[in-house]
A = this chain, B = another copy of it.
């Protein structure tokens, strides 16, 4: 257990003998890959006064236009105060529009402005370029496996949120 080696780890057909070492490699792969994954948008954002949090907000508002603050909160998994700071600057800068709800006036429905869409496009273009290259390099089967493992790695609530978004986009 200390070393992570398993005496005789034959690669069974459906049984998975997973050594600590194999899992550790997966952990490190996640770490390094996520760094690459965020590197391109981060570069773009650092030139502006924005950060990764702004990116996330813009992404999901674009993805689900008219979503409420509370909704966004649940998806992003941060406190409303944290999100609010980000949202405020985005609204002040004219990238996001906040409309008071018609049915429930407590709610604010969020939309991207023209300018907001432009930023979203710019950021996600950068991210998609890398994603596309990785997908092409790895091939379709690998991509399917990639997605399967990622889904299995999510918390349950997030798996649900992800599923809803996925379906809405089709």
Q: Which A positions have Cβ atoms within 8 angstroms of B?
A: 11, 14, 16, 18, 20-21, 23-37, 39, 56, 59, 63, 77, 124, 127-128, 130-155, 158-159, 161-162, 165-166, 169-170
* Chain B residue with Cβ nearest A56: B31
Q: In the complex, what residue of chain B is closest to A151 when comparing beta carbons?
A: B29
Residues of B within 8 A of A144 (CB): 142, 145
DSSP majority for the A interface? helix
Q: Contacts of A26 on B, CB cut-off 8 Å?
A: 131, 135, 143, 146-147
Contact B135 A16 (CB under 8 A): yes
Copy number of this protein in the oligomer? 2
11 other A-B residue contacts (CB within 8 Å) besides A23-B132, A25-B165: A16-B143, A24-B128, A25-B166, A26-B146, A27-B59, A33-B151, A35-B155, A135-B149, A142-B148, A146-B148, A146-B150
Question: A135–B155 Cα gap in the complex (Å)?
Answer: 14
- Contact A137-B152, Cβ < 8 Å, known A34-B30, A77-B35: yes
Beyond A134-B149, A138-B148, A147-B26, whether A34 also contacts B36 by CB under 8 A is no
- How distant is the Cα of A31 from the Cα of B138 in the complex, in angstroms? 20
A128 to B56, CA, bound (A): 27
Q: How far is the CA of A36 from the CA of B134 in the complex (A)?
A: 22
